[in-house]
Amino acid sequence: MAGMSLDFSEAELHRYSRHILLAEVGATGQAKLRAARVLVVGAGGLGSPLALYLAAAGVGTIGIVDHDTLELSNLQRQVAHDTERLGMGKADSAAATIRRLNPEVRVEVHSRRMDAAAAEALIPRYDLVCDGTDNFETRFLLGDACHLLGRPLVSAAVLRFEGQLSTYKSHLGAPHPCHRCLHPEPPPPGLVPTCSEAGVLGAVTGVMGTLQATEVLKEILGIGAGLSGRLLLWDSLEARFRDIRLRRDPACALCGESATIHDLSAHAAEATAPVCGVA
């Protein structure tokens, strides 16, 4: 991370004092957070708590990608927004909330659809990418792009009362699996219901977005056990977490020994309209 400095203002030392007290973070870790650049794709149910906790933690630059506008049905879970902003672009609304929460953070607004061109233009500008969408086309695009462009991807998903979370760092090579090691291809259209069809408990997105933020902070700080090679599953009705091991697939089309995916040309020029995490 370029530009890391241990020179903190008095206000910064006070703001981040609870971080600096942690031996695993300290001043050096807080400087890492301040120097980090994180791209959040989707300013919805997942992206809202994710972006807010990254900003509160002092992540220096947060990019927000979302082309959608705020609707009343979003406010049941998308806590970065409020009723007065109905009709406003979500990326701009999330940026306004972040700036009020922590003026020290730089927010870069990308009010555009995440398609192959956007992925190639934006992802190299950031250290780490967060997938806060619930659209299979966009998810596969981000997974492929992060592998090919050499960036870690922290990806969360929610539906009804359940959530899942993993980190993909397949660009580092074995033993790290990529997202296609888990799901080689997107499911056929209509097979998996969307949040607008099946519903989602709003607080579930808050929990998963906060867990996602925690994994991002751990990756930046280089502490703890990460989720690369693991899939964390949460069933809120049963109040139960499960941890599934993921293995790198030698035959994977993206990261395998005879990979066939070498660029983003197979992806459509525009991703399908996002559904739950972004919309």
What pLDDT is attached to residue 279?
34
Measured distance CA(244)–CA(69) in Å, rounded: 36
Nearest Cα to Cα of residue 221 among 48, 19, 55, 8? 19
CB of 39 within 8 A of CB of 66? no
State the CB neighbour count (10 A cutoff) for residue 4: 13
pLDDT at 139: 94
pTM of the model as a whole: 0.94
Picking from 232, 204, 206, the residue whose alpha carbon sits closest to that of residue 218 is 232
List the structure tokens of 94: 């999330």
Query: What phi, psi does 153 have (nearest 5°)?
Result: -125, 125
pLDDT of res. 194: 73
248-260: b or e for each residue (b if 16 or more CB lie within 10 Å)?
Answer: bbeebbbbbeeee
Residue 1, pLDDT score = 59
Which helix (H) or strand (E) segment holds residue 206: the answer is helix 202-221
What is the DSSP pairing of strand 240-245 with strand 230-235?
Answer: antiparallel
Report d(CA 31, CA 13) in Å as an integer. Answer: 11
Query: What is the per-residue pLDDT for 196?
Result: 75
Residues of the chain with confidence (pLDDT) below 50: 269-279
Strand partners, 128: 38
Q: What's the rounded Cα separation, in Å, for the pair 161 and 203? A: 9
pLDDT recorded at residue 268: 61
Which of 213, 211, 234 has its CA nearest to residue 162?
Answer: 234
Cβ atoms 236, 162 nearer than 8 A: yes
Length of the chain: 279
How far is the C-alpha of 270 from the C-alpha of 272, rounded, in Å? 6
Residue 191: the pLDDT is 76
